[in-house]
Structure 1
């Protein structure tokens, strides 16, 4: 059982509360800042391309595509690098490099030399660095907290992401209105600086630094395949990956048409649309704050499939939304999806961190990023094409059915017969 397994990281001295764990608080604060920056950039970079560079609709859409493309191209090699090198130093390097890239944009713009191609290059290279950072980041928490605190830690980190989703776009839009898109990028630079600073202050135990002792070198291509092989042989990890990927596909499809549906079919104002998405993020904040208690009450294994199955009926409120006050039905459905996402991701990530051998964790995380994030651009294209052919509301019905259907992968899995996560002997050693 999770509670009796040999803990990882600073197990003996792990504090009762994570709020009193210095290393965790530095990671929590730094990643709160590091997540907020890219969320503001989601608003700032398209505005910069439209207003300053007079880009067209398709040219702006390429910015989003270039941000996601590195997950398809670089996740697997990034996993090998993260398992072989010092992960904290990798993360600091990525923060500093992204800081310099983003900082170059307003400086070049002030000189009057900014081009759309340069903006594409910045987004593309930043995307590669973000992939490497994310793969290394997913392996950090087990080094800083005990095994019994993983769910609580992942829940609190997930709460940071939800806060960033609430505050980031609004903050970006407000700053653009106050100081302009170019100057707003300085705020993005500040968030990367804070992230790098807090990572630098973290003190990882020497036993957790670098690759595991006695690890034998494996050719690079073979090392990439080890992560895939491990996931393929572990039935629960395989089901979790399928569940996450299918859900991501349909969630992205719905997201790609959500604003158009709210504005055109429901005749909502831009302010109302912003309020709907803000209220929709509340579910993730609540479940992130109480993830440990929810998991303890339901069970660390059972909560994975329960979090996918139970909120599903509320998703149907999204296509059932109507003009006027009925628009807030969409917010309720979105809040249910946000709660599901945070709780499921917290429990599933904690499971992965517990059962994966330490020297393989980054490569397994890379496999998840490669597949589950790789479907994101495909989902966006599917949503747009379906809405064009069948209409916005029918397309939303298909999307919410698809989201809920993803739960079948974990409902009909060994997790349904388990209450708590049981560690394989290889992972506990």
Structure 2
């Protein structure tokens, strides 16, 4: 049986894809809003990015326990609706001229809190829609849709920002969240047993023990935390690097960022086959090795601008983004499928929230740090540090026991 035969999953897949398109439009709109409309610096971009993820630091482990206690569909619907309303307010405040970096950070804190609960519920909801043997393929479909959104979303976002302005482009994302919430409300599923309420500390401890004492999840978690730190530095610096150092406008920025989506489409299309052929651990190790060379290619763009027309610089930026997205496309479905497969249903929310909260904690530190280094020492210095970090993550993963990980019944 194929994942497309599960109608509830198809509805969920459609809702997820819709909100993903809006999210990638927002990726452009928010950062253009900060840098262009509000005259912000790379540090401002870093702080705005960090504010979105701060709730993962403060509430992440608690969210995992709470999500395991509630009906996941309710959590998904309420948080999607809430996020749509928040982006509508950001648009309103920006248009009326009362939006400041401080207000934007406050609104994104609220957005991040809702995203935290939505993310934990979203990842835990899939096992209620498809059988476990189909999890990897289900996540591959979700990642493929996200990759398509990543491919076209930034390009559409860049065009929308140029056409209607960053504030109204954010309103598109608001509509996508509201539509997603309505569609998920119609999904029929088989809910898992809710976790009985108990001591909060004990339930958090159970989630932590499962993640950090598991033979393979421990290495996967620790390596991914480090990867997110350097990834957040890279992504924070890249936007300002493209806009300021390379002189890209919103349309060119969208084009460059969309290249990562094209790579991700290719990666997710091959992900399941690569995992089956070489093993999940080895396939993920291969992906993590590719990130550093991808960023190296992007750092070559300024040299091209100094000696050749700007379109040569765009080629370096696009090829680097393609390789970066390809790496994420390969490993994304494999990582998610593996994590969900080996984790019992009563620990799904806590496992997902534990990993996401620590990963986003790394973003809260890495994003503003990357912006500060870029402002103080230059874009290329900041990117060189992130290249070194991503390279070490790839080497560590390749030499660890995680490279032997497989989806087997005896690992549950």
TM range (shorter): 0.7 to 0.9
Please tell me whether residue 35 in structure 1 is matched to residue 15 in structure 2. Answer: no
The more displaced of 291-300 and 85-94 is: 291-300
Q: Give the Cα–Cα distance (whole angstroms) in 2 for the partners of residues 280 and 310 of structure 1.
A: 13
In structure 2, what is the equivalent of residue 103 of structure 1?
88
Which whole-Å CA distance do the structure 1 matches of 2:44 and 2:379 have between them? 24
Is the CA contact (8 Å cut-off) linking 1:242 and 1:409 kept in structure 2? no
Q: Output the CA distance in 2 between the equivalents of 1:50 and 1:316.
A: 24
Asked if the contact 2:236/2:370 (under 8 Å) is kept, the reply is: yes
Write the deviation string for residues 180-237 of structure 1: whole angstroms up to 9, x where unpaired: 44444442232112211221222112xx3441xxx55321122122111111211311
The offset of 1:312, in angstroms, is 5.1
Aligned to 1:9: none
Residue in 1 that maps onto 2:134: 149
Q: Which residue among 396, 400, 424 is the counterpart of 2:387?
A: 400
1:370 pairs with 2:350? no
Residue number in structure 2 paired with 1:294: 274
CA distance in 1, matches of 2:46, 2:372: 15
In 2 relative to 1, CA 55–422 (structure 1 residues): closer, same or farther, beyond 3 Å? same
Residues 224-255 of structure 1: per-residue CA shift (max 9 Å, x gap):
22111111211311111122122221122222
SS at match of 2:185: helix
Equivalent in the alignment of 1:224: 204
Answer yes or no: is the 8 Å Cα contact 1:86–1:210 preserved in 2.
Answer: no
* Residue 358 (structure 1) aligns with: 345
Matches of 1:120 and 1:255, distance apart in 2: 18
In the aligned structure 1, how far is the partner of 2:294 from the partner of 2:47? 33
1:86 aligns with 2:66: no
Alpha-carbon separation, structure 1, partners of 2:366 and 2:290: 23
* TM-score, normalised relative to structure 2: 0.86
Q: Which runs of 5+ in 2 are unaligned?
A: none
- The structure-2 alpha-carbon separation of the partners of 1:190 and 1:120, relative to structure 1 and needing over 3 Å to count, comes to same
Q: How does 1:171-186 map to 2 (within 5 A)?
A: 171-186=156-171
SS in 2 for 1:235: coil
**1:128: which partner in 2?**
113
Q: Which moved more, 1:302-311 or 1:259-268?
A: 259-268
Structure 1 residues 125 and 352: alpha-carbon distance in aligned structure 2, compared to 1, 3 A threshold: same
Q: Is the 8 A contact 2:280 2:407 kept in 1?
A: yes
Cα displacement (A) at 1:421:
2.1
Q: Tell me which residue corresponds to 2:403.
A: 416
Q: CA RMSD in A?
A: 2.9
Number of positions where the alignment pairs a residue of Structure 1 with one of Structure 2: 403
1:194 alignment counterpart: 179
Matches within 5 A, 1:152-171: 152-171=137-156
CA gap of 1:163–1:265, structure 2 versus 1, over 3 A, is same
Q: Is the contact made by 1:155 and 1:290 (CA closer than 8 Å) also made in structure 2?
A: no
More deviation in 83-92 or 155-164?
155-164
**Is the CA contact (8 Å cut-off) linking 1:151 and 1:291 kept in structure 2?**
no
Asked if 2 retains the 8 angstrom alpha-carbon contact of 1:247 and 1:404, the reply is: no
Offset of 1:271 from its aligned partner?
4.6
* 1:8-48 residue CA offsets vs partner (Å, 9 max, x unmatched): xxxxxxx2x22332122111110111222233334444666
Deviation, structure 1 residue 390: 4.7
Structure 1 distance, partners of 2:103, 2:379, is: 35
Note closer, same or farther for the CA distance 1:253–1:223 as it changes in structure 2 (3 Å cut).
same
Equivalent-residue separation in structure 2 for 1:348 and 1:34 (angstroms): 22
Q: Which moved more, 1:397-406 or 1:228-237?
A: 397-406
Instruction: Assess, with a 3 A threshold, how the Cα gap between structure 1 residues 400 and 185 changes in structure 2: closer, same or farther.
Output: closer
Deviation at 1:302, TM superposition (A): 3.0
User: Matched residue of 1:380: which SS?
Assistant: helix
Is the contact between residue 151 and residue 295 of structure 1 (CA under 8 Å) also seen in structure 2? no
In the alignment, the residues of structure 2 paired with residue 392 and residue 158 of structure 1 have an alpha-carbon distance, to the nearest angstrom, of 30
Secondary structure, in 3 states, of the residue corresponding to 2:369?
A: helix
Q: Is the 8 A contact 2:216 2:402 kept in 1?
A: yes
3-state DSSP class of the match of 2:280?
coil
Offset of 1:378 from its aligned partner? 1.9
- For residues 29 and 294 of structure 1, the distance between their equivalents in structure 2, rounded to whole angstroms, comes to 25
